[in-house]
Structures are given as structure tokens and as C-alpha cells.
């Protein structure tokens, strides 16, 4: 194994001229279509493997496939975020102005993913009349923050990478949702996964406080580096996350641990007069 060649190959993957608009837009589009492919592949595999999936309604299948897509995206995001937080010497030395070619690559691919999330959310609202204000706000601020990075090529990447690291709770959330839908919500594995999810939600809070610390410690530099419009979007998003979204999602995850009932579509079903069973007991006797 030639480590030098492997390192050169990995660097070549990220070796783009990110100043060029066509490069940034190409990678954004690549992120969109890569994760759209993951979404469609999740549907095909789930239809083939899982009888419980085939019994879900169309709107529940959308959530199922999108959760799998988010879970895979979170693996990429957490890898990039942890590297910037703990290892990369450039980001350790400068948390305001620093950029790396690998961070450009990950942020642009992430922007494509969040564009896909917003498209799926809007289409779901139009077709299924599904509107979750917390998710919509989260998706809009996430894409808006990365869009500002695409427009302002001088902005630092440390804070956006910490934003990607906030996806740390997505993999256990995906597992929780799938086990709930397939009737395994009362198993020891589900409870252990839910405990991990709650723990990750608390870690998100700590990471959000770290982001605040970086901003407050370097306030003038952060405003100057991001530019006022992008800073306003970032400040509003971080404030909403810290004060509303993180506490709410932590509460809901804890509530679900003690009362494993699927409430995702409960209000919608009541509004439409649906008689569909909505909790995990629907699938209690079914197996994947």
C-alpha cells in the first residue's frame, strides 16, 4: 500500500478552482443528484426487502426514504465536521477566515443535499398537504447558510462545518423512525438507539454553544468575513436552533423514548378523517 499515492489521489478529488462559478454550481448540482439517487435507491431496496415498507402510505414512504438519505448524508457531514473540529491544523489555528479545498468540496455537496431537502419538503406540502414548521425552518436556514458561502467565496468554513456536524443525531433518528414503522419500538435495541439519539441531541446543544463562543469571541471578524446579509441569516438560524429547535427536538426524542407512538402524521390523519392506524402496533406482527 502506497500512502503517498493514496494521499495524492485524495487531494486530487478536492483539487478544483472553487473561485469559478461553474465549479461551485457543478458541485452543488452533483450533491443534489447524488442524494436524489440515494433517495430513489432507498425506495427500490425498501420495496424489495421490507414488507412493512410496502404497506406504508405514499407520504410515509417519502419520509422513510428521506430519512435514509439524511442518515447517509449525516455520515459525510459528521466526518467533515469532526475533522475540522479535532484534527485539521488550519481550522485549529483560525476559526474565522480559514478555508480548505476539502471543506469547499463538502460544503458544496452539502448545499446540493439541502436543496434536495427543500424541494422534497415543498413537493410534499403541495401533494400531501404536509407542513412541519420546524422542519421547514431548519431546511431553509441550512440551505440559506450554505448559499451565502457559495456567493461569498471569502467566507470562512469552520462555522459551516460545525453546522454540518449538527447532523450527528440524524443516523439514530433514521434508525428510530424505521424501527418504529416496522413494529420494533418495544425492543431493547430500539431503546438503546433512542438513548443514543437523546444523547446526540444534547451534544448538538453543546456544539451550538461552541458556535456561539466562536462568534462572540471573534464578533467583528465574523461579521466582516461573512458579510452583513450572510451574517444576519447565520445569526437568525443559530438563534432559532439554540432557542427553539434543539430544545423542541430533544423533548420530542425523550417523549418518544417513554411513549413509542408514531405521531408523524397523526394530526394530518385526523384532519382528513383517516382511519389508518398510526402507531407502531400496526406493524407489531410484521417483520422486515
Across the 288 residues of the chain, what is the mean pLDDT of every consecutive 10-residue run? 43 84 95 96 92 87 92 94 95 94 95 93 82 78 85 92 94 90 87 94 96 96 91 91 93 89 55 42 41
Whether the pTM exceeds 0.75: the reply is yes
DSSP state of 184: -
At residue 263, the pLDDT reads 62
Q: Under a CB-based contact definition with an 8 Å cutoff, are residues 47 and 128 in contact?
A: no
3-state secondary structure of 223: helix
Q: Cβ contacts of residue 173 below 8 Å, gap of 6+?
A: 67, 70, 71, 197, 253
The CA distance from 49 to 47, in Å, is: 6
The CA distance from 84 to 78, in Å, is: 10
The CA distance from 258 to 247, in Å, is: 17
Residue-wise pLDDT tens digits, 191-217: 999 999 999 999 999 999 999 999 999
Residue-wise pLDDT tens digits, 23-73: 999 999 999 999 999 999 999 999 998 888 888 888 889 989 999 999 999
DSSP state of 265: T
Angle between helices 188-217 and 170-181 (to 10 degrees): 150
Amino acid at each position: 500500500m502506497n500512502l503517498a499515492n493514496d494521499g495524492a489521489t485524495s487531494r486530487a478529488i478536492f483539487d478544483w478552482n472553487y473561485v469559478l462559478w461553474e465549479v461551485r454550481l457543478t458541485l452543488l448540482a452533483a450533491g443534489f443528484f447524488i442524494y436524489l439517487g440515494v433517495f430513489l435507491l432507498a425506495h427500490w431496496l425498501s420495496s424489495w426487502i421490507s414488507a412493512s415498507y410496502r404497506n406504508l402510505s405514499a407520504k410515509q414512504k417519502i419520509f422513510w426514504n428521506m430519512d435514509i438519505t439524511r442518515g447517509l448524508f449525516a455520515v459525510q457531514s459528521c466526518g467533515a465536521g469532526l475533522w475540522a473540529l479535532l484534527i485539521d491544523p488550519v481550522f485549529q489555528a483560525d476559526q474565522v477566515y480559514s478555508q480548505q479545498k476539502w471543506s469547499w468540496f463538502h460544503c458544496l455537496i452539502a448545499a446540493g443535499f439541502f436543496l434536495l431537502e427543500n424541494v422534497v419538503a415543498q413537493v410534499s406540502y403541495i401533494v400531501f398537504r404536509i407542513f412541519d414548521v420546524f422542519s421547514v425552518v431548519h431546511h431553509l436556514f441550512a440551505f440559506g447558510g450554505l448559499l451565502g458561502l457559495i456567493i461569498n467565496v471569502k467566507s470562512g468554513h469552520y462555522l459551516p462545518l460545525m453546522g454540518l456536524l449538527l447532523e450527528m443525531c440524524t443516523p439514530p433518528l433514521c434508525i428510530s423512525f424505521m424501527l418504529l414503522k416496522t413494529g420494533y419500538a418495544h425492543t431493547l435495541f430500539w431503546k438503546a438507539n433512542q438513548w443514543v439519539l437523546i444523547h446526540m441531541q444534547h451534544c448538538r446543544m453543546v456544539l451550538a454553544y461552541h458556535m456561539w463562543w466562536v462568534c462572540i469571541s471573534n464578533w467583528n471578524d465574523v461579521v466582516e468575513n461573512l458579510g452583513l446579509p450572510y451574517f444576519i441569516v447565520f445569526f437568525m438560524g443559530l438563534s432559532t436552533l439554540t432557542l427553539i429547535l434543539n430544545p423542541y427536538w430533544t423533548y420530542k426524542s425523550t417523549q418518544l423514548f417513554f411513549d413509542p407512538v408514531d405521531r408523524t402524521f397523526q394530526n394530518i390523519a385526523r384532519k382528513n378523517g383517516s382511519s389508518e392506524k398510526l402507531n407502531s402496533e400496526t406493524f407489531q406482527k410484521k417483520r422486515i
